[in-house]
Chain A
Amino acid sequence: MVLSPEDKNHVRSTWDKIGGHGAEYGAEALERMFTSFPTTKTYFPHFDVSHGSAQVKAHGKKVADALANAAGHLDDLPGALSALSDLHAHKLRVDPVNFKLLSHCLLVTLANHHPAEFTPGVHASLDKFLASVSTVLTSKYR
């Protein structure tokens, strides 16, 4: 899957629009994922996953910062995400199906807060972006 110039523009403009809300949206996406897909909680037995949890907020910020970094390096996602790719392959070993679940919840969150910007074209580009990030993060699994 290749991100077209139009896809890249859509991703960059979305991240501009997100501004300083990244951490908030990251946390919300995680909360949505834990609520809708309880099996995802198996990777966080050490977390308080209740609404407003400080751990979820902190982790949401980590996820958001990683995505912002990816959005700033669309021409070299494998390079930008190399360390995270190693981490997921050798330490975290999150089953690949879960990346789709988090990606879906990120889209639900973005659509929720930015309905005017979340046009079908932008939606398609963001879906491709998150799928590309997921592919990179699982690329060293075996």
Chain B
Amino acid sequence: MVHLTDQDKKAIKCLWSQVDVGAVGGETLGRLMCVHPWTQRYFGNFGDLSCVSAIMNNPKVKAHGKKVLSSFGDAVNNMDNLKEVFGHLSELHCDKLHVDPENFKLLGNTLVIVLSLQLGKEFTPEMQAAWQKLVAGVASALSHKYH
């Protein structure tokens, strides 16, 4: 179970205010599918995912990436009760989408890499540590209702 300190929460909120949800979301989901191609199994109806440029320019990838990252915004605003906030999404991912929770960890780590890429110096080791806790918390909350 992750424990976010007040300092972690402050750092996360500060960084989040600078995040372009559409751009970072699309970049994160796209890179997930490029670096870990087996994750494409969940996106059979997304059209052309045949190569890096097809994935990164795919409008469905961008749109879905934005959707996924918007829900991270809910996490940032509710860091003290992630399990409650992600309850319905957890059920959805288990019962309807049948997504292996391992993928939540892959996505979380890809997001951390994209934040590092975009924020440079500001993404200090301490900032990374706070975000690693948050993505682990989200992954855990999303797996919580699995059965």
Binding site for B on A (CB under 8 A): 28, 31-32, 35-37, 51, 104, 107-109, 111-113, 115, 118-121, 123-124, 127
B125-A36 in contact (CB<8A)? yes
Q: In the docked arrangement, what's the CA distance between A111 and B132, Å?
A: 16
Interface of B (DSSP majority class): helix
B112 contacts the other chain (CB 8 A): yes
Give chain B nearest CB distance to A10 CB in angstroms.
Answer: 11
B128 contacts the other chain (CB 8 A): yes
Q: In the docked arrangement, what's the CA distance between A35 and B8, Å?
A: 12
CB within 8 A of B31: which of A37, A109, A113, A123? Answer: A123
Binding site for A on B (CB under 8 A): 30-31, 34-35, 52, 55-56, 109, 112-114, 116-118, 120-121, 123, 125-126, 128-129, 132
B116-A111 in contact (CB<8A)? yes
List the 9 closest pairs (A to B, CB-CB), nearest first.
A111-B117, A35-B125, A36-B132, A36-B129, A120-B34, A108-B116, A124-B35, A35-B129, A112-B116
B113-A123 in contact (CB<8A)? yes
Q: In the docked arrangement, what's the CA distance between A127 and B38, Å?
A: 14
If A36-B129, A108-B112, A108-B128 touch, whether A115 touches B35 (CB-CB below 8 Å) is no
In the complex, which residue of chain B has the Cβ closest to the Cβ of A121? Answer: B52
CB-CB under 8 A from A124, the residues of chain B are 34-35, 52
A120-B31 in contact (CB<8A)? yes
CB-CB under 8 A from B125, the residues of chain A are 28, 31-32, 35-36, 51
If A31-B125, A36-B125, A36-B132 touch, whether A115 touches B34 (CB-CB below 8 Å) is no
Give chain A nearest CB distance to B145 CB in angstroms.
Answer: 26
Q: In the docked arrangement, what's the CA distance between A35 and B109, Å?
A: 15
